[in-house]
Chain A
């Protein structure tokens, strides 16, 4: 009889790996470092699989397993609480509690599964690096915090994981800390994330003040008990949470750190800045969906921010020349899709897209890493080309990834993107606008992904270095596995019901956690039309990109010349970094330097210090005359002191001191 899933071991294993490699990594032989680094996430993944198996097939209901497999999940959610409370004061009780439900199970499978594959890939990719052990210790640390974030049963524990993955992200972005751009990018990511964290923190304070608890289920229960609790403080809490999510998940206006985060090693970009950490915001919104459900205003803000980010980032991605930057803006755009899904209350669709995106974006990043690795560190698309013959496997898996992200049937992205757009379409006239924005973004997505694909793999080689480094097996196996997931990952959403194939299986699976929404006015015809439209748009974008970039055509340059203003705007990323620099960073630096640095630090604090020092020095200058070194003067002072003591004993002090003060007064000429 299994009565305990030992969820604690899931984060614990990577943490042990982090400790071993972090403390002893430099002295251990490389194979041992590799073993520790790989076994930790593999063990965690196996534990998650055990938990999943337990969840899907609980012992008592295995016989009753009917045609509806997810109905057997009645044993979830599963909660594990540390017997010692974390915070136990009258106003607030917080436990160390981990919750395994359908939502965290999906996230854990993605985090540990994709995480393990990327660990394997990193063995090949980082093989020659001096910081091999340091790299893996950070990567294990990330897995530890990410699983804490996912499993957390209350907002405070989630915040611990939230900050921890931020730390791991900072460490890995700045992994090549000798490079100034990498160190700066790490700082930028950390600081921008702090702005979002302020929102998260304020939301937690408001939750404590208004609900008296931080546990997700209790908040949902309290909200459910009072159906009239709409808007007001709930909107404020939801918007603050959204600010936190926007920071972590790189949404407008806090997305600026993610493109710079590409300074880190490529597997890090794949794991942290594409597949898992940046999706934490989406997960958090889905986890606290009860609050968003009670605030239509906050929901529409989420939808608008998501749609705007999706479109905005996709336009920038159209013209970028760095392969990783294209993928970074693509990630921002896809995260926008997920927020769009959350914003129309289609949380399960958003989580579905989160999962498929983790597969194909990790694949695309790893494939890009393989290309970069083969070309000896070259990231510029203009210097690639013609790689399909030299790197056939990378070419094949990238093709799968591209088809998945642009949403060609039957690849993974098709199903999840379609679910989001369909849910948005059914959400009234505003939802329809958002849906059309998503459609247009799908066109742009297809265009820039096929542009990347053509520039990197088709045409003639534009590389100066004709020598290509091959990829080891440790890099190829994860690529193939992720390619398979990118192809098949969407199929888990298909189910056959009432003689008609629909895509409700995934949302049905998540329904116990985030509720099932009955779509109003939805029908198979609408869904089919939207799907066909999305695929046609994707094909349109893809074909035009292939026509433009497939051969050595002069059209792209001419187009850029024709729309030179727009082109310059896009290639400079709408000058957002410059705008923030001029409006926020420069005034802040100026304030710090002149007001805080000169006036407060040098003027006030330094002045006080100098004043105190001056008083001490002046007193010293006066008192040092006593310390003449002349023995007789010491003796004279001794005698004088003794005389004073004697006199004050003989004469009552109440008469002596006023008398002597009067004496001094008189002597001094008054």
Chain B
């Protein structure tokens, strides 16, 4: 085996990846117009956080972090079901998914 491959990936790399995923999610949430893309960005943020959870769980040999990830995934699944239903309902009613157009609540 290559010693490079045998080497364990340092903790900071996971964390950097997690931060990158989260930041991508934030940026996507802020700049994207399509509601589905925005939705996906939220999922990306959630999973970025999940990554850091498992990283720390692995590092500290604490199973709590992994349990928490399952909770997050569960909530994310439920949220996806509800969120997609809302998106479909909005699309049927307004024939658009551009977030800027969904502005009935605006003054």
Chain A interface (Cβ within 8 Å of chain B)? 629-632, 635-636, 639
Contact = CB atoms under 8 A, between A and B. Distances in A.
B26 A629 contact: no
Interface stretch (B6-14, B70-78, B98-106): B98-106
Given A631-B99, A639-B26, 13 more contacts: A629-B103, A629-B105, A629-B106, A629-B107, A630-B106, A632-B29, A632-B30, A632-B31, A632-B99, A635-B29, A635-B30, A636-B30, A639-B30
Interface residues of B, number: 9
Contacts of A629: 103, 105-107
A638 to B, nearest CB: 9
Interface in B26-60: 26, 29-31
A342 B65 CA distance: 101
Nearest to B33: A632
Contacts of B103: 629
Contacts of A631: 99
Interface string B75-107: 000000000000000000000000100010111
15 contacts: A629-B103, A629-B105, A629-B106, A629-B107, A630-B106, A631-B99, A632-B29, A632-B30, A632-B31, A632-B99, A635-B29, A635-B30, A636-B30, A639-B26, A639-B30
Nearest to B31: A632
| Interface residue SS majority, chain B | helix
Contacts of A636: 30
B68 to A, nearest CB: 20
B97 to A, nearest CB: 14
B37 to A, nearest CB: 12
B107 to A, nearest CB: 6
Interface of B: 26, 29-31, 99, 103, 105-107
Contacts of B105: 629
Name the residue among B30, B105, B107 with the largest chain A CB count within 10 angstroms.
B30
Nearest to B103: A629
Contacts of B106: 629-630
A636 to B, nearest CB: 5
A629 B105 CA distance: 8
Contacts of B99: 631-632
Nearest to B26: A639
Contacts of A630: 106
Contacts of A639: 26, 30
A639 to B, nearest CB: 5
Nearest to B23: A639
A104 B27 CA distance: 94
Contacts of B29: 632, 635
B60 to A, nearest CB: 20
Give the 9 A-B residue pairs with the shortest CB-CB distance, closest first: A629-B106, A639-B26, A636-B30, A632-B30, A629-B107, A635-B30, A635-B29, A631-B99, A629-B103
A636 B99 CA distance: 15
B27 to A, nearest CB: 9
Nearest to A632: B30
A629 B106 CA distance: 5
Contacts of A635: 29-30
A124 B73 CA distance: 95
A508 B82 CA distance: 106
Nearest to A624: B107
Contacts of B30: 632, 635-636, 639
Nearest to B27: A639
A639 B41 CA distance: 14
Kindly name the residue among A630, A631, A636 whose own CB sees the greatest number of chain B CB atoms within 10 A.
A631
Contacts of B31: 632
A632 B28 CA distance: 11
Nearest to B105: A629
B3 to A, nearest CB: 34
A632 B103 CA distance: 12
A602 to B, nearest CB: 36
A639 B45 CA distance: 12
B22 to A, nearest CB: 10
A164 to B, nearest CB: 59
A393 B103 CA distance: 93
B90 to A, nearest CB: 14
A639 B105 CA distance: 22
A629 B103 CA distance: 8
A228 to B, nearest CB: 85
A631 B106 CA distance: 10
A632 B98 CA distance: 12
A161 to B, nearest CB: 64
A641 to B, nearest CB: 12
